[in-house]
Amino acid sequence: MALSLRFGTVTAVSQRLVELIRCEVDGVPCIAYPRQTGPVEVGDIVLVNTQARDLELGSGGFDLLYANLTRGLGLPAADGAHVMALPYGVAQSAARCVEESGALAGSLGGMPVVCCGLHSQVAPAAAAIGRGRRVAFVQIAGGALPVALSDTVRALKSRRLLDTAVAVAPCHDGDVQAVTLPGALAWARQDGFDAVVCGVGPGIVGTGSEYGHGGLALAAAVNATVALGGRAIVTVRFSDGDPRDRHRGVSHHTRSALRFCVGDYEIAWPAMLGEPSLGRPVTEVDVDGWAEACAGLPLAHMGRGPAEDPGFFAAAFAAGRLASRYLD
pLDDT attached to residue 94: 86
Q: pLDDT under 50 in the chain at which residues? A: none
In our burial notation (b when 16+ CB lie closer than 10 A, e otherwise), range 273-302 reads: beebebeeebebbebeebbebbeebbbebb
Compute the distance between CA of residue 124 and CA of residue 301 in angstroms, rounded to an integer. 12
Fold classification of 5-68 (topology level) = OB fold (Dihydrolipoamide Acetyltransferase, E2P) (2.40.50)
Under DSSP, the state recorded for 158 is: H
Residue 317 near residue 125 (C-beta atoms within 8 A) = yes
Compute the distance between CA of residue 186 and CA of residue 98 in angstroms, rounded to an integer. 9
Backbone angles phi, psi at 206, to 5 degrees: -155, 145
pTM (two decimals): 0.92
pLDDT attached to residue 181: 98
pLDDT attached to residue 279: 76
Compute the distance between CA of residue 38 and CA of residue 10 in angstroms, rounded to an integer. 14
Compute the distance between CA of residue 291 and CA of residue 314 in angstroms, rounded to an integer. 8
Domain boundaries, the chain: 5-68, 98-325
pLDDT attached to residue 271: 92
pLDDT attached to residue 109: 97
pLDDT attached to residue 49: 95
pLDDT attached to residue 34: 96
Sheet holding 265-270, edge to edge: 176-178, 164-168, 135-140, 195-200, 112-115, 231-235, 265-270, 283-285
